């Protein structure tokens, strides 16, 4: 995609915090028009106000990406306000934790609704419009970025629902890449697979709909896994701003896999080697035995 994004339009879900806010800031710095969506009104308004004050053209909509009709309405609003969309960041995401058999149906519905269905709805609502624009205008270029995670390339314990959602986003994105290649060179895509970055995702339960709240309190494993996630996310050394810069560079270079932590790829290689060799899955905490020991101790203390 062209390096000059001036006057082009970006749609960003989860724009009120974390990666989404930094994507919006980067887009504004590049002279883009912005369509921002988030489920949290005050966070969304803070991002909108900041970028509007800096001179960006901004449309903000409160959207639950798990609701296809709301994402369709977002696409209609973007077209009405700014015309064609050139960058789409399917970025909204939530976290969940605990032993996989302890997760409730509502845990699955909430996490998959945002992390997977949000991406599905974004692709369904925006990509056909991008393809129509590409067919009508030979010089048109567009790019879709789906936010997955290193949890989409690995399968660490006590985060099964999240792992499933992010593995699905990686598979969906790889398929989108292949499908687009059959019909056009003007619309491309990437998948972002960050590791632990201080984004606020460990506090995503603040926006969990009441209808999907659990009746029972968190289990011991869920509390232990949540505490580990809190520590890992808040202690991350790579910032969301750095991830945004990396992602925009990947878009410019037409790079599909956007990987923020090269050191984590050793575990991905081990997983692939296990598969190719027919071995049982390796311990994902092999290089951090203290982490595994702490988790085992927390779980077995439950009696």
Q: What is the four-CA torsion angle of 244, 249, 251, 252, rounded to 10 degrees?
A: 150
User: For residue 225, is pLDDT > 80?
Assistant: no
In this structure, which CATH number among 3.50.50.60, 3.40.50.720, 1.10.3720.10, 3.40.50.1860 belongs to the domain 9-300? 3.40.50.720
Cα–Cα dist 154/22, whole Å: 25
Q: What is the mean pLDDT of residues 46-53?
A: 98
Cα–Cα dist 38/91, whole Å: 10
pLDDT band at 302 (very low <50, low <70, confident <90, very high): very low
Q: What is the mean pLDDT of residues 206-228?
A: 80
Q: What is the mean pLDDT of residues 186-206?
A: 79
162 among known catalytic residues = yes
pLDDT tens digits, 88-139: 999 999 988 899 999 999 999 999 999 999 999 999 999 999 999 999 999 9
Among 25, 29, 35, 21, residue whose Cα is nearest residue 4: 29
Q: What is the mean pLDDT of residues 256-272?
A: 92
Total residues found in the chain within this entry:
303
User: For residue 263, is pLDDT > 70?
Assistant: yes
In the prediction, which pLDDT does 199 show? 58
44-51: long-range contacts at Cβ-Cβ below 8 A with a sequence spacing of 24 or more? 44/15, 44/16, 46/16, 47/15, 47/16, 47/17, 47/20, 47/21, 50/25, 51/24, 51/25
In the prediction, which pLDDT does 303 show? 42
User: Greater confidence, 63 or 293?
Assistant: 63
Q: To the nearest whole number, what is the mean pLDDT of the chain? A: 91
Q: What is the mean pLDDT of residues 217-245?
A: 78
User: Greater confidence, 152 or 219?
Assistant: 152
Q: Residue 159 carries which DSSP code?
A: B
Predicted TM-score (pTM) of the model is 0.92
Q: What count of other Cβ atoms lies within 10 Å of the Cβ of residue 293?
A: 11
User: Greater confidence, 300 or 120?
Assistant: 120
User: Greater confidence, 11 or 239?
Assistant: 11
């Amino acid at each position: 995609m062209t390096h000059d994004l001036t006057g082009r339009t970006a749609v960003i879900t989860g724009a009120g915090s974390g990666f989404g806010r930094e994507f919006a800031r980067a887009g504004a710095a590049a002279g883009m028009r912005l369509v921002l969506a988030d489920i949290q009104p005050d966070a969304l308004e803070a991002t909108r106000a900041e970028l509007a004050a800096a001179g960006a053209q901004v449309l903000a909509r409160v959207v639950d990406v798990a609701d296809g009709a709301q994402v369709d309405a977002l696409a209609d609003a973007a077209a009405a306000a700014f015309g064609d969309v050139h960058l789409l960041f399917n970025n909204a995401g939530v976290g969940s934790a605990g032993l996989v058999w302890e997760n409730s149906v509502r845990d699955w519905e909430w996490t998959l609704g945002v992390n997977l269905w949000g991406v599905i709805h974004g692709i369904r609502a925006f990509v056909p419009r991008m393809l129509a624009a590409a067919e009508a205008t030979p010089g048109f270029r567009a790019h879709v970025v789906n936010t997955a995670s290193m949890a989409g390339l690995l399968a660490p314990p006590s985060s099964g629902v999240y792992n499933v959602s992010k593995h699905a986003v990686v598979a969906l994105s790889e398929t989108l890449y292949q499908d687009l290649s059959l019909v056009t060179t003007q619309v491309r895509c990437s998948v972002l697979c960050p590791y632990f970055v201080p984004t606020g995702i460990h506090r995503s339960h603040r926006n969990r709909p009441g209808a999907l709240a659990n009746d029972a309190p968190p289990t011991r494993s869920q509390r232990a896994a949540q505490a580990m996630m809190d520590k890992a996310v808040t202690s991350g050394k790579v910032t969301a701003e750095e991830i945004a810069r990396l992602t925009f560079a990947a878009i410019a270079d037409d790079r599909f896999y956007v990987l923020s932590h090269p050191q984590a790829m050793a575990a991905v290689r081990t997983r692939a080697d296990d598969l190719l060799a027919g071995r049982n899955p390796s311990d994902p905490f092999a290089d951090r035995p203290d982490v595994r020991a702490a988790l085992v101790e927390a779980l077995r203390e439950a009696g």
